[in-house]
Amino acid sequence: MIQYHKGTVIPPDPSATLSGRGILSKVPEHGSDACCPRPPAGPTGQTLSARKSYRDQSFVGEVSSAVGPVPRLSIRLTLRDRWGGLKVRLGLKRNQYAVDPGLYAVGQPDRQAPVLVTANYKLSLDALRSELSGLDAWILVLDTNGVNVWCAAGKGTFATDELVHRLTTTHLDQIVSHRRLVLPQLGASGVAGHAIRQRTGFRVIWGPVRASDLKAFLKNPKNPSPTMRRISFTLRERMILIPMEISAALKPGAWATGAVIIIALIVGMLGKGTLPSVVGLMMLGAAAGGLGIIGGTVLAPILLPWLPGKAFAVKGASIGLAAAGLGHLILYPPMAAGLGVALALLTVATSSFLAMNFTGATPFTSPSGVEKEMRRAIPAQVMTMGIGTIGWLVAVWTG
């Protein structure tokens, strides 16, 4: 079993090198704390070395360096890499997709080769290495508990202390003759470039936001194009987040469905409702909620730039209203006006709340703005949801 732990380079097992692949170790149980890691407490070395083991990153051979062999990463993603990436995009085992931190190589780096720094979220490392064809570089992977660069920087794990610690344990100063580190720009909220220089002598060069711009950046690091510096949120970038949004909405959605069934049965039995009428109203309630989920997690992300308002709750409510209208046009049977309005309110409230949660996935919302939006939106959402629920229950009661 090969394990690259804590940045020390251990010569790989010859049998594994022959097969050209690393070995998948037991996937560690991180639990949900991997989502929001706390900054390592106390002396970095101690906390980090006391921590769990990670999934081994597969490699292709090794590169020799002044301090021993360094595992070399392929720049091609395997089927398993792609499958793993697909699963985390769907929200499955997203908190356990971490690789061992430490030093890796791509191509045949020498003492002059650039050093690229990234996080130990496997999706991040895969995104990086797959953009490096034809490049010889060292890749320094920091321990961020398997969280991507940006979030880890915000939460204090892609941080100055961890970078200093990782530089020490990998003996990078002996491996390269220069003193430059290329960091992803989105790591800047966690790493202070000037502090790295003072503490280690290495100079931090802020690379582009996206790994796909790295090769162009390295050719001309003095004059990166403004688009390399600017975070984007294109249709494609928004759509790739949709499965995760749906996945996150499913669990509360299942609870809500259960509650709807139980409440409808009780209210229906107490009131004048017949079983078919109660079941029919259950399905209408579920459909209204379902339309809200589609509005808030699918349509709102897609249509984000074009939906009215700045607040996501407003955007979600407006697309929810459209979804409710569409429901009445093509999905629902004819019904009393009161019930129709109640179903629409349920859809609008659900969509508004879920769209508001999408703030966390976007690169342009600010915490003070989100808090301001929520202080106004949540009472309105609760009220809308409450009125909608009462209207629906009245229909269940009267049958």
Q: Which residues bind another protein (CB under 8 A)?
A: 32-33, 35-36, 91, 147-148, 150-151, 153-155, 185-186, 188-194, 206, 209, 226, 229-234, 241, 244-245, 247-248, 251, 304-306, 310-312, 356-374
* Least CB distance to another protein at residue 189 (A): 4
Task: CB nearer to another protein: give 15 or 32.
Answer: 32
Of the two residues 96 and 247, which places its CB atom closer to another protein in the complex? 247
118 beta partners: 141
Residue nearer to another protein on the CB measure, 20 or 360: 360
Residue 106, number of CB atoms within 10 A of its CB: 24
Q: Identify the residue whose tokens are 């690091």.
A: 221
**Shortest spacing between CB 306 and another protein, in angstroms:** 7
Nearest to 184 by CA among 231, 122, 249: 231
Which residue in the block uniquely carries the two structure tokens 């809308």? Answer: 384
Q: What are phi and psi of 206, to 5 degrees?
A: -80, 110
Closest CA to 395 of 327, 351, 345: 345
Q: Which is nearer to another protein, 107 or 193 (CB)?
A: 193
Least distance from C-beta 372 to another protein, angstroms?
5
* Backbone φ and ψ of 104, nearest 5°: -130, 170
In whole angstroms, how close is the CB of 193 to another protein at the nearest point? 5
Alpha-helical segments (H) within 191-311: 193-200, 214-219, 226-229, 235-239, 242-270, 275-294, 300-303
**Least distance from another protein to the Cβ atom of residue 272, Å:** 39
Which residue's CB is nearer to another protein, number 2 or number 152? Answer: 152
The answer to whether the CB of 25 falls within 8 A of the CB of 55 is yes
Q: How far apart are CB 363 and another protein at their closest, in Å?
A: 7
Q: How many CB atoms lie within 10 A of CB 58?
A: 20
**Helix, coil or strand: residue 108:** coil
User: Rounded CA gap, 248 and 361, in Å?
Assistant: 12
Q: Which is nearer to another protein, 215 or 229 (CB)?
A: 229
